[in-house]
């Protein structure tokens, strides 16, 4: 097994703890026609200074996600807040950036400004944040939008490392406005992404195909078996490659973590408390 680290083009917003005045909410709101290709174009006096698109895992944080979705949709344009249990981030961002290109080709200055200053917010656990980072990386943008992470999971190691805290947040409107203020003032930082290559020697007798889980976690990015023509392929071995952020493990701890992930997906009502989830 070999792992290589590289600086990924995706940047992540961070800031110290505390609260910031969010200022006027118009600084964050994005007009419908930017988000929805079939919406009627409107004239806006000033471009938002910190336009955001928000992704929330409603099943994270002991089921706090639903309350957070409600508050963000009340504070912002409802169309810029997405529940990841209903729509995946790759579909949302591919649609958004395709619309950016269409509007820019028509000379829309607002679309140009919003694309340039766009920031993403993701509320969920480390796996949810890694999922969004992988999607942004796959877009291969000249300038990737920075990602701010709301600590809504069990461990929250990724948001903690970048200054967003470790404790699950409050979900009321004032807490949302305070977080928006932090996002506006946050600085961009680069994050390492890891590339992993695994090789298993082909046995002399019998097959050596691994028994794959029914569904790999989204955080294990683009994991697949390489073809025979791939330059990474080595004769006499089965070679697999993929990517990840944050951490990766094999063995008993990985089995326990995957078991927790699968059980929570099947019975989310049993996982409503961050402390008991950690236990």
The CATH number of whichever domain residue 41 belongs to comes to: 3.40.50
How would you classify residue 18: left for phi > 0, otherwise alpha for psi between -120 and 50, otherwise beta?
left
Give the number of domains in the chain: 2
- Could you give the CA distance from residue 7 to residue 221 in angstroms, rounded to a whole number? 16
141 located within any domain = yes
Cα gap 35→67, rounded to integer Å: 23
Residue 164 has pLDDT above 60, yes or no: yes
Q: Count of alpha carbons within 13 Å of 233, Cβ hemisphere only?
A: 9
pLDDT-based confidence at residue 155 (cuts at 50, 70, 90): confident
- pLDDT-wise least confident of 50-54, 120-124, 126-130, 261-265: 261-265
pLDDT reported for residue 16: 57
Instruction: For the chain, count helices (H), then strands (E).
Output: 9, 8
Decide if 93 contacts 135 (C-beta within 8 A). Answer: yes
Q: Is 83 contained in some domain? A: yes
Host domain of residue 262: 194-276
Show which of 131, 152, 185 is a domain's final residue.
185
pLDDT at 241 over 70: yes
Chosen domain end from 185, 204, 236: 185
pLDDT at 275 over 90: no
Cα 214 to Cα 34, 136, 163: the distances in Å are 37, 25, 35
Are both 170 and 111 inside the same structural domain? yes
Question: How much is the average pLDDT of 72-89?
Answer: 95
* pLDDT surpassing 70 at residue 209: no
Specify the residue for token string 């006096």: 45
**Helix, strand, or coil here: 205?**
coil
> Rounded to the nearest 10 degrees, how much is the dihedral formed by the CA atoms of 25, 134, 57, 31?
30
Q: Which residues of 20-29 are buried (b: 16+ CB within 10 A; e: fewer)?
A: bebeeeebbb
Q: Are residues 152 and 213 in the same domain?
A: no
Does 1 score more than 50 pLDDT? yes
240 in the same domain as 155? no
- Residue 59 scores a pLDDT above 80: no
For residue 9, pLDDT over 50 is answered with no
pLDDT-above-70 percentage for the chain: 87
The reply to whether 256 and 152 lie within a common domain is no
What pLDDT does 215 receive? 65
């Amino acid at each position: 097994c070999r792992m290589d680290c590289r600086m990924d083009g995706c940047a992540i917003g961070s800031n110290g703890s505390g609260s910031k005045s969010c200022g006027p909410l118009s600084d964050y709101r994005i007009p419908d026609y930017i988000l929805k290709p079939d919406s009627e174009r409107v004239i806006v006096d000033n471009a938002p200074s910190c336009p955001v698109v928000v992704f929330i895992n409603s099943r994270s944080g002991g089921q706090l996600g639903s309350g957070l979705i409600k508050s963000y949709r009340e504070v912002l344009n409802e169309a810029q807040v997405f529940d990841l249990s209903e729509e995946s981030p790759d579909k949302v961002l591919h649609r958004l950036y395709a619309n950016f290109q269409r509007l820019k080709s028509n000379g829309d200055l607002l679309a140009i400004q919003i694309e340039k200053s766009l920031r993403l917010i993701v509320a969920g656990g480390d796996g949810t944040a890694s999922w969004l980072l992988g999607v942004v990386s796959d877009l291969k943008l000249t300038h990737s939008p920075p990602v701010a992470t709301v600590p809504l999971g069990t461990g929250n190691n990724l948001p903690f490392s970048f200054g967003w805290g470790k404790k699950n947040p409050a979900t009321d409107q004032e807490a949302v406005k305070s977080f928006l203020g932090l996002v506006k003032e946050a600085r961009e930082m680069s994050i390492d992404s890891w590339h992993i290559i695994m090789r298993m020697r082909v046995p002399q007798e019998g097959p050596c195909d691994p028994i794959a889980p029914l569904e790999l976690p989204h955080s294990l990015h683009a994991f697949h078996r390489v073809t025979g023509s791939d330059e990474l392929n080595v004769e006499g071995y089965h070679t697999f490659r993929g990517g990840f952020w944050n951490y990766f493990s094999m063995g008993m701890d990985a089995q326990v973590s995957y078991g927790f992930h699968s059980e929570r997906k099947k019975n989310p009502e049993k996982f409503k408390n961050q402390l008991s989830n950690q236990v």
